[in-house]
Structure 1
Amino acid sequence: MLDASWQEDLASEIRAMGENGWEPLMGSPAEAKQDAHVRTPLLVDLTIHPAVLTSWLKEGFTEKLGILVFSTKAIEELRISLKRFLTVLTPTSGKPVYLRFYDARVLYCFLRLGFPDQWQDFFKNIDLIAAPYDYTSSFAIYRLRGEQLQLGIETEDGLDYHWHKHENHDRAVENYRATFPFREIEQRQYDDMMHCAQMSFHHEVEQFLRKAFPEETRVVSRKELLEYIGEQEKIASDKSFNGENCTLYWILMTMVCGVKFYEEEYMGRYLAIPWFSHEKRLLDILAIANNYAKNLHIKELTVEVD
């Protein structure tokens, strides 16, 4: 399962291969696949497109982007199963939120603090999942055995897996199945997932900054760069520029134009335009600023604006 938000080139290659062997998780099956949003996660059948695995391992695995799902079901049926969890109900507000379960770090938090009803629901049509893992260079394996979730971590000699067993009977959502078609998540699970999602996003931005600004970030430690990302995210949020895209564009503007870029007269006026979305305002000024900076990685992000 490919995270097309951060591996857009690979997702584009898959789309260009034709109509067979891949499914977008967003949109309706009645719609043309190519009409699905460019950043929709893609479910790819590796028996039809085996070369995709090699391409994904080069970048996706190291950056914890995407997961491997093992199933005997047809890809179309698996798409229906997985799509059920793209939107879940939050425990406090009851509002639907987007769940990036295909992000390896979010998946770990989501599953380890789950409960039997939820695990059985999620693993419908799935035999096991292999996902990148923060604490080892190999895959973590998730499988369901009865009402028990098992997490397998490769042993030090690389010859076997050590299985951690989770049961969590005391954290079940009351009347879980009454929330269908939406799935509800438990409060502690939700809090942990939000933290995981934020940390995962920060790591992705860190990787992008190192790729786009190799000289500027060469001597900056990972801890320092992650702290910088967190600080700028807070400033952007304080200015009402919320969301992952806004945060990314804001941080890139600080790299190109300085941390106080929003105080410059022209930029301040443009950022205050009420009839543009916050995301569009940032993307527009980022595109203009990059006409001078000529950063090829930022150019890829702003090509539609140009």
Structure 2
Amino acid sequence: MNIWASALLRARGADMPTTVRGAIIAPVTEPTPWPTPGQPDEGPPWRPANDVETRLLAALDRDDRQEFFRTLMTAPLFLPQTVADPDTATEAQAEDYVTFDSGEVTYLLAFTSVETLQVCVGHIANGYVESDYDTLRVGLADSDLQLGFNLGTPIDAWLDPESVARAAAGEIAVPTGAEMAELMELTDPANAAAVDAAAEQELEAYVDDYITGLVDGDVLVVADRGTWRIAPVDGVPTIEVYSAAEHTPPGTPTTTAPFLDVVARWPAGAEQLTVNPGTPLAFSLPAEVLAAFAEEAHLTSPENN
């Protein structure tokens, strides 16, 4: 999906910051295509311009999203503008700010260095205002504007002001710019058929891997004093097993056995096997299916060997 310059400079009721103003040496030109979020524009590779950007990139490399947003919350932020005379203007007007539209959402752009701002939007902006997250959070409280950090770099982020603090606290997981770009591409209606096919293929591969891992590995069998428990589930005598300890309810007594041994030693009184009950991975197999599987795989009980 190609995203183009909106060149929209609108207030949307925001109380914009009026702190330090500066000029950048770049003429305002005709709008050209914006870089896609998460994908640097053509040209020399982007490099961090200061310690803040170095820390952001390091946090991204570690996939430490909390530290990434903590850094944004404390960093100086530079907001690009288009103004008649950036050297003599004394007040920041809401309509001067450069925004970016994606779908029905409008983002106020903010950068963590003047150098990155100039590289990414110097063809649109000719000035900037220095601000910070706390100021923007208050100023945008009654606005529907969201924040777009570091457009066109590997350290970009796109979210509403309140979510920055929540992400820094670890309350939510925010997609990276690259993930956002992929999501926007996937949600393009023109790609619907391809996306559905890819999702189905991915699901089939996941199920194959899940079943293969289950059959080839050990399971935790619910047991009473080491004896496999046969308990009624919806009236059906059932043996329950779990594929991993994290799926097992706390305090549930279990004994470990290879899955193939469970099938080979299937007790006569049990009519059903349930795997990972109470989880999204749960499924059940009737005893007849297990018997057919044992016969096909030439499984015999160790007691009969």
Q: Same fold (TM over 0.5)?
A: no
Which TM-score applies when normalising by structure 2?
A: 0.26
- Greater fraction of residues in strand: 2
Asked which structure has the greater RCO (Cα within 8 Å, sep 6+), the reply is 2
Which TM-score applies when normalising by structure 1?
A: 0.26
